[in-house]
Structure 1
């Protein structure tokens, strides 16, 4: 699990993309230029949560170490501690992978 010195605020999370498959099921090797960015990642940092209308803190459903699926255009790409990461809201996450 990657460590970062960045702490997201509110309902934001920091996600590290998982590596895409290097070849197809039929064994064809995919060159880097043809690969799509993976839509699966690992949570490496989470914010404390969002506040509801009454001001009560609502914690996030995801935690550090969870493997998640997110939308193709979700989040903002940043480089932190030499790593390419995504910062996104919890609502951009579609679900946790088994």
Structure 2
């Protein structure tokens, strides 16, 4: 799958003319793949729990995975120290029970 183009500063991907925060490029590939797998599990959980009490927890899981990847959260990854960035992506992340 082709990667979407990055903005000139490398901080955002551009999809259909819209800018989205890019994944932190300093995340080691193995950990990035693990975080993406967890994110996709939570997204499936959101779909499976739509309209139920479990949906809120699933959405929190998506948020946590996106923050770990650097795609959300404040400050953005490019304003964090190397230690803050490492702590963010190394933090334990819960996975859906199902």
TM range (shorter): under 0.3
State TM-score, norm by structure 1. 0.24
Choose between structure 1 and 2: higher strand proportion: 1
Of structures 1 and 2, the larger Rg is shown by: 1
